[in-house]
Structure 1
Amino acid sequence: MEIFLEYAWVLLVLIVLEGLLAADNAVVMAVMVKHLPQEQQKKALFYGLLGAFIFRFVALFLITILVNYWQIQAIGAAYLLFISIKNIYDQKFKKEEEDDDGIEEHSKKGKGFWPTVAKVELADIAFAVDSMLAAVAIAVTLPEVGNFHIGGINAGQFGVMFFGGIIGMILMRFAAQWFVKVLNDYPDLETAAFLIVGWVGVKLVVLTLSHNKVGVLPHDFPHSTTWELIFWGVLLLIALGGWFTSVAKKKKHEPHQ
């Protein structure tokens, strides 16, 4: 009974952790699918997360190998930073240079349904490494159940990680749908959303620099209270600043009654 309660408690902690991670991840997903027609947005999120789920499931079996490759996190960081910088640049400069037809053509280029699905999958793969490392760090504190191991991890610990990850992805999908609705209602919030994408990229940069084989930052720094306060504090400031700015702009452009 005691071991059951211990496993149930850790599973609850993992669900909360995945929920927190899903919040910033969902913003990235929402920004990526926002340009699609409304009926395709849910499909893109579903197919993208389905492919990402398959990756996560396979990665759980290989986690003891994947943790040795800091390059995976580095690629994820570079990918998110590129998305953030490119889209903010496009919003601020290219829209001023193109006429209406040019903008429409530019917005469609490389942004079809399946390319968007692929981008969602790539982004979630970048997030997966971060969340799985955190899940492993928590799950391995549990007492082992039996002698059966999966991917170098005890079967009981593996099961907790697996179910925690599934619930986290479900939370991410519904959170992403909500963020898409918010972005449609407040279009000017998109710049703040892309800033958050870039900040999440910085988070992966920190994770890369603290890898054992890189060693620029202390190994435990990404999961320290100091970094968590910095990360969530800056993310909250970006979100609140973007929200108040977008609300003010929307009111300014609304016709006066």
Structure 2
Amino acid sequence: MDYALIGSFASLTALEIVLGIDNVVFIALLVGHLPEAQKNKARIIGLVLALLMRIGMLFGVAWIIGLKDPWLNVMGHGFSGKDLLMLAGGLFLLHKATDSIHNELTQEHVEHYQSYKGGFVATIVQIVMIDIVFSFDSVITAVGITEHLPVIIAAMTIAMMVMLASSGMIAGFIAKHPTLKMLALSFVMMIGMLLVADGLGVHVPKGYIYFAMSFSLGVEILNLVVRKKRGK
């Protein structure tokens, strides 16, 4: 029995679940405008596509690692393919989060799509776009832990099953508590800034980001408990 592989599998599974929460939250926000009957379908499609993209990228590990080589030089600073992808993904997250926060604050509910079908398809397209960014980050992290593809694929599959089981609960909880939705949008904006910084070559330890997110969530949960007790 290879205990090193077992340890890698356990740690990678846990890490993939933690990293995948960002993906689940963003998908929950994206499907929020859809009719109730279509929300769960969109969540499942989005998460399954995320898993398939992760597995597909694993078989192109050499290509992914090659993206670290400079593709573009601006004022003496080299940008690799990975940097450009992080920049594009971060800017997309910042735009989406800012637009959603604006709509929440102004109570504007603009119809972005011409029809019901168009709205669903457009949402899936957006989910695919963000899946690409999160998949890239996930694969890079996984390869850093172990180079055994079967272990990585198994860990990602189990993590995705956990997320599939919990995505509806997370989405429902966010919809029931509007302040949590605003907090989730703030998290998405923070992640976007982190990706932009990473793309610009400024490394920000993710531990600080996740600590800030955990602390903010803890404070908001305390607020929910206080409001619930006062409402009785």
TM-score norm. by structure 2 comes to 0.80
For these two proteins, the number of residue pairs brought into alignment is 214
Moved more, 26-35 or 14-23: 26-35
Q: Which residue of structure 1 lines up, in the alignment, with residue 48 of structure 2?
A: 50
* Superposition deviation, residue 248 in structure 1: 6.4
Q: Select the structure of larger CA radius of gyration.
A: 1
Q: Which runs of 5+ in 1 are unaligned?
A: 141-156, 210-215
**Which residue of structure 1 aligns with residue 77 of structure 2?**
none
Query: Alignment partner for residue 20 of structure 1, among 5, 8, 18?
Result: 18
Residue 119 of structure 2 is aligned to residue 112 of structure 1? yes
Q: Which residue identity does 1:137 align to in structure 2?
A: G
In structure 2, give the amino acid aligned to 1:240. Answer: G
Change (3 A) 1:189 1:239: same
Deviates more, 1:7-16 or 1:111-120: 111-120
Q: CA deviation at 1:250?
A: 7.6
Deviation of residue 134 (structure 1)?
0.7
Question: Whole-Å Cα distance in 2 between the matches of residues 38 and 79 of structure 1?
Answer: 26
Give the conservation status (yes or no) of the 8 Å contact 1:189–1:246: no
Matches within 5 A, 1:180-195: 180-195=171-186
How far did 1:247 drift? 6.4
CA drift of 1:36 comes to: 2.0
Amino acid aligned to 2:25: V
In 1: Cα distance, 2:219 partner to 2:98 partner: 18
Residues 243/28 of structure 1: CA separation in 2 closer, same or farther (3 Å cut)? farther
Secondary structure of residue in 1 paired with 2:33 = coil
RMSD (Å) for aligned C-alpha atoms: 2.5
Instruction: Note closer, same or farther for the CA distance 1:113–1:251 as it changes in structure 2 (3 Å cut).
Output: farther
Equivalent residue number for residue 163 of structure 1 = 154
What does residue range 1-257 of structure 1 map to in structure 2 within 5 Å? 1=1, 4-67=2-65, 68=67, 69-70=81-82, 71-93=84-106, 95=107, 103=109, 106-107=110-111, 109=113, 112-140=119-147, 157-209=148-200, 216-217=201-202, 221=203, 227-244=205-222
> Is the contact made by 2:27 and 2:46 (CA closer than 8 Å) also made in structure 1?
no
Distance 1:247 1:183, change over 3 A: farther
Distance 2:187 2:159 in 1: 19
State the alpha-carbon separation in 2 of the partners of residues 192 and 230 from structure 1: 17
SS at 1:112 equivalent: helix
Note if contact 1:25-1:127 (Cα within 8 Å) is conserved in structure 2: yes
d(CA) in 2 for partners of 1:161 and 1:87? 34
User: C-alpha separation between the residues in 2 aligned to 1:251 and 1:87?
Assistant: 30
For residue 19 of structure 1, report the CA deviation from its aligned partner. 1.2
Distance 2:228 2:33 in 1: 19
The range that moved more, 185-194 or 107-116, is: 107-116
Letter in 1 for 2:15: L
Query: What runs of 5+ residues in structure 2 fail to find an aligned partner?
Result: 68-80
Letter matched to residue 105 of structure 2: K
Is the Cα–Cα contact under 8 Å of residues 86 and 198 in structure 2 kept in the other structure?
A: yes
Of all paired residues, the percent bearing the same amino acid is 25
Would the alpha carbon gap of residues 242 and 116 (structure 1) be closer, same or farther in structure 2, given more than 3 Å must change?
farther
